[in-house]
Amino acid sequence: MSGEITTMSAGALAEAIRTRVLSSQEVVEAHLARIDEVNPTVNAIVSYAPEAAIAAAKERDRELAAGTIRGPLHGVPIAVKDLMDVAGLPTSHGSRIHAGRVATQDSVISGRLRDAGVVFVGKTNTPEFGAGSHTFNEVFGATRNPYDLDRSAGGSSGGASAAVTSGMLPFADGSDLGGSIRNPASFGNLVGLRPTAGRVASARPGNAWDPGSVLGALTRNVRDTALFLSVVSGPERRAPLAIDEDPALFLSIAPRPFAGARIAYSPDLGGLPLDPQVRAATAAAARLASELGAEVVEVDLDLSEADAVFETFRSLEFLDGHGDDVREQPDLVKKTVRDDVSWAAGIDAAQLVHAASAKTRLFRRMQALFEEYDMLLAPTVQVLPFPLDWEFPTEIDGVAMERYYTWQRSCSRITATAMPALSMPAAFSAEGLPIGVQFVGPYRGDRLLLEFALTWESAVADVMSRRPVLTAAEALV
């Protein structure tokens, strides 16, 4: 039964616990057993706290027996990305500077999950300060892709992706600046939503007015993403961009038919280089959308200013968040983060003003696109999951990458527009590696994306059901 439990969706587990078909203790212990089985090699879960998790699960069962249900995720296990605080667990940020520092209170997202009744089993691995879309650091090491242990799980939510993909967690939170939910979703054959900024509020330090970095989810199905949003969305007085809409709107999603829809299709998001198998899979996805009844129109998107917008504001975020670390303890900060801070220090007022104006132009240009089309279809990631020992891809299809994150531009160009985006499974490569496609919707169109995704999920059910076969023996090879 333990193996069956770890294949169940978060929604199904919550229902089974609520109706006492399963106890929280049974559910948590099954996931802890799966963690013990495969995590020593996959390395997705860090700051592991099995004893505290079992104690919390027993408490959830006592509460349920007394007629108390904390919330819609009562007794369901989760681990939170190691950039967000969970009271009583370390928030190491993958950094030697912060390694082992125990949080004294919950972040907003962790507090909402706790209020919903979850059981925290630990944290999920992330690159140092979440920098880069390959999950490795000098505190916990690298996270491996469960589909090929010699490949990257992506990042920065790579630990979350690998844990959900391999059955260590039913679902997980993630954060996305330049693709940190969408890239690992593609690498892990998962649903990965980058919501509209403010949909999932945060009270983290830094520029609360910047819509770049957002919080979202990684799941094995669309309804679990909707369930997650129903729990963690909603206004927050410390978050000026927080969206004041009832989170329950995500509980009533229904499949939205592709028939009659108009879909803009961008095969390369403004001329980006792609791995040939990614290009072929994206074209096949466009054909499938057409077969499902949509009018699919290839469009020539003007994203010429997106790279400057993203890279300017990203650098400023790293200067704000980690400038002191670089100045005070440079030997404990990896070179790529030092580079980020250095690039930010070179930005002058004219560049900043231009980037701010360009961000507005991009937003309005995309909103105009969505007056004609329901959504945009594009590749999620430009490459297949790459070798674990690479720091990052240095070239794509013969084109050199200038910086450590420029291979992610298929995601970061969408970030620059401020539109919500959803990575959905689409295909597998000849080597058996997952390939996702990206659906982009209008501003605050998160529910619309999920409803179209329900239809897409049915159409690619064979792809989505292809989970990695990973046992303890295989993990140790």
Exposed (0-12), middle (13-18) or buried (19+): which is 240, by Cβ within 10 Å? exposed
Give Cα 415 distance to the centre of its chain.
Answer: 13
Question: What do you get for the CA distance between the two ends of the chain, in Å?
Answer: 26
- Which one of the listed residues 95, 107, 110, 156 is annotated catalytic? 156
- The residue type found at 322 is H
- The residue type found at 276 is P
**Contacts (Cβ under 8 Å, ≥6 apart) of 39:** 45, 48, 163, 168
CA distance 235 to 73: 20
Q: Which residues pair with 81 in a beta bridge?
A: 124
Give Cα 440 distance to the centre of its chain.
Answer: 15
DSSP string for 392-420: S-SEETTEEPSSTTGGGHHHHHHHTTT--
CA distance 358 to 190: 32
Alpha helices per DSSP H over 255-386: 276-291, 306-328, 335-345, 349-372
CA distance 406 to 386: 15
Q: Write down the residue that tokens 């490795």 correspond to.
A: 136
357 is catalytic: no
- Which one of the listed residues 81, 123, 334, 359 is annotated catalytic? 81
**Contacts (Cβ under 8 Å, ≥6 apart) of 167:** 6, 7, 31, 34, 38, 467
- Tell me the HSE value of 172 on the side-chain side, using a 13 A CA sphere: 36
CA distance 176 to 261: 28
* Residue 205, helix vs strand vs coil: coil
List the structure tokens of 365: 């240009």
**Alpha-carbon separation of residue 432 from 356, 410, 425, 427 (angstroms):** 42, 22, 13, 9
81 is catalytic: yes
| Contact in structure between 135 and 103 (CB atoms under 8 Å) | no
Give Cα 10 distance to the centre of its chain.
Answer: 16
CA distance 257 to 293: 8
| Contact in structure between 152 and 134 (CB atoms under 8 Å) | yes
Omega before residue 213 within 30° of 0, cis: no
465 is catalytic: no
Exposed (0-12), middle (13-18) or buried (19+): which is 322, by Cβ within 10 Å? buried
Q: Identify the CA nearest to 139 among candidates 91, 96, 198.
A: 96
- Strand pairing report for 262-265 and 295-298: parallel
List the catalytic residues: 81, 156, 180
